[in-house]
Structure 1
């Protein structure tokens, strides 16, 4: 047996082990942790993780899964499938109980849950449900024990794995759970697809990062001494240290190489890696070369079939490779992997092109002949990759279509996209009869078939482009989605297919804030209106009604919703009909005097839950919660929101829950439960997928920060909201609240002209035209800003006041809450125009009194008290109103209002306390970034910071860039200002 080349002693890494030990301890105390271990190939990441797992507390469970590379590509969900299989094997009863009712969906990642199950019906949000349910499964397993999930070789992760990992890192978790991931930092080139995820994790406080450096000379000495059993001569040690540069894996290889070949003088470490392979018997070398083309791991039965060797010959050949520590056995004994990926890469790169194609053809042939040689969920993808590497275009095209279907069934949209793009690449390389005989493609839901004859089974180029576009959107790549849609439209035949494509283009441009999507929908309607009745046109009509509800609520949009309801009902399309009825109720709710629309909305919600259609369930519940709040029925909205949250969690509708949590936060804020409203926004931020919900979270946080008296924090949140919402898709329901808080922040900063300009832009854009629930509070804010200006001796802007009155005159206020706001508006307008009457404010207070809206009631009481003081009448009554307003404001933490009360009447209002520290005030800065920021705030240059912290100027520059990005600052002085204002750093 060969002597080991692995060090039997774990060398160094005290700091890194300590960091990981703290993460283990925190997770074991019920504080979920995530750690990403980064370092170059061969630096010792896996060995470090193994040491951590070796020291886990009693009853802990660890599950390891690695990203599997096959022919340069990762397999969908491979590390999660492998890790969950470990948990299934160790905790079968608990896994079964935690996944009860969702086996078919979770089976896309853990096929053992639902073996042999046929793909079930799908919905657009199934991937979000899958991610949510996976997180819940892990949480439940971690309720009573520490569960450690290890994802290795993240640099090879496929898109589906990256998306699921990103969700687990962002989501608010509970339980005793630790997620460890390792990745090669030297593989992360500028365009590496993992970079966006890593940039996001750097901003997440819940994610730690451990960077593994190379060994220093002392550590290399300890490692070599442990390997060789004695300390080497100084010249030998000098050569090993110089050539390895402290890379642990290269140290091991060099130690062995210099031990066995003292006269070696190799310049290329890759050649050194091949020396041990070339020292094997010839048949063992052949086995190793074949294994290298299988990817990271190869099973024994597969290797037996590909090599064509007898079992005894294969075992003997493998024995030599294992004893030489080129290959190692898998923990479950089912196969082999290279001891280090660098060796596999070196072997694969050494193959001749013809040899590589021949080996890949052999893999594909044996996998086609025997479907049991690899796991079922991997088979189609691996076949496609091997046929492509074998340069068999016909087989590769057919396999790519089948692999795309398989990836679609597993919600691996990134893998599906890759297979479809490969099919498009191969399309012109095969003859037309081959293309006509391709297997059927799983196209998106609702996509109209082309209607080919019996001799044409497969897809055409339009089908591939259209399906690739939806797959790209599902994987979060809107640029590629729009690119493929353009190609599909250029190749499309038939008006219904073109209408479907234009409707999807509208959806994508709205999702990505690339436009409002109206021209695309108009084109889709023109294409479909003269065609026979179809589900495609029903879908177009529903999308048009939805667009109107979001962008131009009013009679025309109500008529569009009515048309969509009638058309869908006529063709028996119940799901489209339910969608259209939801939109119709949404539009009619503002004038729902008799409660008919609300009753219908409850009925649609109940019917959607009976059907179990997740998309309609989410839409009905989300609309109901929002509509109730819009009617001023905040307590009822909160009850409906609690029901919706429970339902979303049971179904895994995390993206819908994000919107519902936004609406819950609004109801909680209305009811004066501001701390709970903050919690709801935190939940929404953790679950949000896409820029619009993130923009809404930031806008509502801005309002909360402003009313608590932290104008600077409000300004920062406005910046985040603006970046997320953009300017290309200005929906009133999204932008009115943003505009309202923007105006108030500008006014509080003394930028009155800018505040007025903001209002004029909103008025010109039609944001003051309604709906009432959004526009009326903004009109109150505009009137209040003019009134404050008048109080300070400035002339009110008469054009602004006239615009406010014109807009208000158009509204028919149907509900008590909006009648109360109308009274508040009248009082503010009177104050702005020099007629500040206590009676107007008293009327507003009386209107808000029974509505459980404490903040608005406090505003009205303050206005009445201030007006009474100015009139010089009953001062006792005035002080009574001010004192009551102060008590309410103190209970809420409304420091801005408290400051106004104190300025109006110092005798009756105690000075407000300092606003509480903002909960996310550290902006996700690392401890080192806090140190750098403190020095930036003191005016230090990068070179001075580097000298004080004993780091390089280049590292300092990187830290400063990261700090500016996290703070949303454009320059160092702005970052310093934010740091001093928010208490992140102290002045010198």
Structure 2
């Protein structure tokens, strides 16, 4: 390596394709096929980071680095070339230069570079060719056109946004592109996923999707701008700060500040306009003519600040430029420009156009004219509602509500009702809840503008939204208020009764079944699909809890179809989950598949993402439990692809935390769990979400058995219906206590008190906690298998003589239960007990290998690592036996039985292991191996295995 610029450890995101291409080109150069690469892209897109990263990870390579600079008042010929020469390895001969000038002689320079390439591969990095002088370009042309058979790669970066049609570099590029072995890589912005990975890395944890959306919308995927935007943000932030970081403003304004005053004024006015405009339109707000505005915009386009669109309008290349430029204006000038654009847009007409209407409303508001802003916001909301643009409608209605003045005599409750409708259609759960709270007034009070039935419906919707937003879990008292408020015989009363039955079931209310029956009777008296759906699902829930799965399925399917007709997505989500519950336990792929059918219907019908994410999170959790972690990852990505809303976000984060913990990504697991806990005001009380079991698993992954035990015992103590994943709580608690015993024993401490604690715990909780619901063969097998796991953990903690047998029984039961993660863990414990304590090598090796195969399939890195370490300590061969083709061993005639034995010998199996696997005696194995030794002329098993491997390898060759 040279003495040049220090290596940088750059984290790259979303550049796998480009990095792979660079790697291939650098590898070709290392094989004496000289390469030249031009990496182009706008400023901040990561050109330098990519080339430096690709060069730095090349082994035994000299890297020469130099950069061109935008010098204005002085000229330094060959600046980048001089830097390259200074960065040469200290061990290299001095770079040739002409005496006095310091300018290298091209022929001597080329010879010197060839000498370096003879010693080891050389990578030449040249940054920012758009600022290169002609002499530098001539040197690069000479080097690029040099000998093809040398270990040289030249990587040059170019800011494409600063190379206009008349730039001096264009002619050079035209010539260079015609040379052989020249590759051009255009580097575009990062996509949404790569931006999310970058931000999470910068902030140190998995960040909220809403923050990624906000940053991506502002930066356009430019990694440099994204980094500046999130500078100083808390990892829990959901939005970027209103005040953009100073470094970001400086970076964005750099090009703008070098423009002439006319171009600066025109682009600033364009930024305030907030939409692409033609020069004639922009001239309306400026005291100059159209031709001068056109010239100013063309100058800005020449430096890459704005670009010309196909319709003749101009807009900024980087989305942030407009925001930063507007923010740099004095307040009075900013307001006057906004008012001018508002008047211009209103004068221009197109009142029925949503984009124009919202722009008018925004300009009046930012221009500080409240009356005009209020009226224009309502007009824009009208247009948005009629066109189904619910997010725009919601924004305009929220604006109108904030500007409402009671002295005008307008009815604010009408605006609030419209806000509720817009938010519901948009899936904006927090906004809808806020509007309902505003309409109802303070808790405990009704709204003067609402009748009794409306108050009841609003109370019910608030209960549902508090659940979806993680504020409260189906409040029973609030539901009773809704029933009391609803006039008997109305749809509101039937809906309230259905919710009372639903909430009551979760909280153990004995009146819940009767309330469900009454709700359905009343709902059938009305022609209202939404009310019918909630009533049907409440009864489906009761049927499932009464273990009448067939009846529950019938009711839930009818509830789902009614919800689809009503386009009530919350109702459909509830029906979908109880439809699946009626058929199978949640920890099954068939459960995930049923939920997936309804999730697909939501997508087809255009449901808001929050509801789709809710079901996708449930699908992911079920797929994970069943061992299909790749499908789980797909569903998690679907759920988190946009803002999933709190309930969908929590479901996905908990599942992501469990997946990460099981696969050994502990930091990621803790981050996902922390995000889930931040999103909900209460956690353990949310019985539908497995906070406590997953907390316990994450704590165990982090070697915190005390924290795992606390989490599991919180779940065990939950009141009302047992929480989801309750069946796992006792095995997890016992595992945590057993881990504490093991840690104490390893430290030489007295374990008796902790063992007494374990005995007392098992005595207090002798049986696995059963969730309520329809009994199925799979669920019963899971209860049995988890019970066996619980017994095994107790045996481990108490060092029972039958511990190994209990682990084998548990592992085999977990096969039937289709719980592969737990099975892999049980195999690991069985192998450990058999090999370490019992000294049973044959059975221990069998359990170890079976566990290892499963751990590899699941990508369960912690278990795989523990099993491999155990195999090393116990000297257990892990090679998988491969069939030996006797016909290919042409020099040796072997029988079919000898062929089977030879394959196991090659895999490193002992006599006893071979006998056990082939169900023959060790004596028979010994006899066959003696025959094989004689036939092959080898002295022992090791030589025999080597002979077979060499023979087969030769045949393959």
Could you tell me the TM-score, scaled by structure 2's length?
0.55
| Inter-CA distance 853–568: structure 2 relative to 1 (3 Å threshold) | same
Change (3 A) 1:383 1:879: closer
Q: Is the contact made by 1:404 and 1:420 (CA closer than 8 Å) also made in structure 2?
A: yes
Verify the 8 A CA contact 2:500 2:515 in the aligned structure 1: yes
State the partner residue of 2:530: 575
Correspondence for 1:757: 710
Q: Is the 8 A contact 1:214 1:247 kept in 2?
A: yes
- The CA deviation string for residues 664-685 of structure 1, in whole angstroms up to 9 with x for no partner, is 4344334433344344434433
Question: Which deviations, in whole Å up to 9, do the C-alpha atoms of 1:514-533 show, x marking residues without a partner?
Answer: 3446167336415523x154
What are the ranges of 5 or more consecutive residues in structure 1 without an aligned counterpart?
Answer: 1-14, 40-46, 56-144, 152-161, 172-177, 203-209, 216-245, 257-271, 278-287, 308-313, 436-459, 914-988
Q: Aligned to 1:406, what secondary structure does the other structure show?
A: helix
Q: Name the CA shift for 1:499/1:575 in 2 (closer, same or farther; >3 Å).
A: closer
Q: Hey, what's the Cα distance between the residues in 1 that align with 2:439 and 2:700?
A: 49
Tell me: CA distance 1:579–1:829, structure 2 relative to 1, closer, same or farther (3 Å): same
Partners of 1:358 and 1:811 in 2: CA distance:
63
For residues 582 and 322 of structure 1, the distance between their equivalents in structure 2, rounded to whole angstroms, comes to 64
Shift of 1:573: 1.4
Residue-by-residue CA offset, 1:474-501 (whole Å, 9 max, x unaligned): 6869489538724652553333333344
The reply to whether residue 400 of structure 1 matches residue 377 of structure 2 is yes
The correspondence for 1:566, drawn from 509, 512, 521, is 521
What is the rounded CA distance, in whole Å, between the counterparts of 1:728 and 1:665 in structure 2?
Answer: 20
Residue number in structure 1 paired with 2:552 = 597
Pick aligned residue for 2:775 from 805, 811, 814: 814
* Aligned counterpart for 2:730 among listed residues 763, 779, 785: 779
2:617 pairs with 1:640: no
**Counterpart residue number, 2:415:** 464
> Is 1:249 aligned with 2:256?
yes
1:574, distance to aligned residue in structure 2 (A): 1.4
Of 872, 884, 892 in structure 1, the residue corresponding to residue 858 of structure 2 is: 892
CA distance in 2, matches of 1:479, 1:641: 27
Q: Paired residue for 1:506?
A: 463
Matched with 1:521 is: 478
RMSD over aligned CA atoms reads 6.2
Q: 1:840 to 1:498 in 2, by over 3 A?
A: same
Q: Give the Cα separation in 2 of the matches to 1:671 and 1:21.
A: 31
**Partners of 1:187 and 1:877 in 2: how far apart?**
58
Q: Which residue matches 2:927?
A: none
Aligned to 1:677: 632
Matches within 5 A, 1:200-599: 247-253=254-260, 296=275, 317-319=289-291, 321-322=293-294, 331-332=309-310, 363=344, 366=347, 371-372=349-350, 376-382=353-359, 384=361, 397-409=374-386, 415-424=392-401, 427-428=404-405, 430-432=407-409, 435=410, 460-468=411-419, 478=430, 482=434, 485-486=437-438, 488-489=440-441, 491-493=447-449, 494-516=451-473, 518=475, 521-522=478-479, 524-529=481-486, 531-547=487-503, 551-552=506-507, 557-586=512-541, 588-589=543-544, 592=547, 595-599=550-554
- 1: CA distance between counterparts of 2:523 and 2:278? 53
Change (3 A) 1:895 1:198: same
Note if contact 2:620-2:633 (Cα within 8 Å) is conserved in structure 1. yes
- Deviation per CA, 1:677-715: give whole Å up to 9, x if none: 344434433356123333333333333344445656544
* Alpha-carbon distance, 1:776 to partner: 1.2
Q: Counterparts of 1:553-952 in structure 2 under 5 Å? A: 557-586=512-541, 588-589=543-544, 592=547, 595-602=550-557, 604-605=559-560, 619-621=574-576, 623-625=578-580, 628=583, 630=585, 634-640=588-594, 643-644=597-598, 646-653=600-607, 654-687=609-642, 689-709=644-664, 714-727=669-682, 730-735=685-690, 738-746=691-699, 751-766=704-719, 770=722, 774-787=725-738, 793=751, 794-797=754-757, 798-805=759-766, 808=769, 814-828=775-789, 830-831=791-792, 832=794, 844=810, 847-858=813-824, 884-894=850-860, 896-897=862-863, 910=876
Structure 1 residues 596 and 823: alpha-carbon distance in aligned structure 2, compared to 1, 3 A threshold: same
Whether the aligned pair in 2 keeps the contact of 1:786 and 1:796 (CA below 8 Å) is: no
Instruction: Give the structure 1 partner of residue 148 of structure 2.
Output: none
Q: Calculate the TM-score normalised by the size of structure 1.
A: 0.53
Q: Would the aligned equivalents of 1:384 and 1:399 in 2 still touch at CA under 8 Å?
A: yes
Q: CA deviation at 1:734?
A: 1.0
Q: Using the alignment, how far apart are the partners of 1:186 and 1:872 within structure 2?
A: 60
Q: Whose RCO is larger (CA < 8 A, sep 6+)?
A: 1
The 8 Å contact of residues 674 and 892 in structure 1, kept in 2 or not, is answered as yes
Q: Quick check: 810-819 or 572-581, which moved more? A: 810-819
Question: After superposition, what is the alpha-carbon deviation per residue over 1:1-21, rounded to whole angstroms, capped at 9, x for unaligned?
Answer: xxxxxxxxxxxxxx9xxx999
Work out the number of aligned pairs and report it. Answer: 671
Contact kept? 2:381, 2:397, Cα under 8 Å: yes
**CA–CA distance in structure 1, aligned partners of residues 296 and 848 of structure 2:** 85
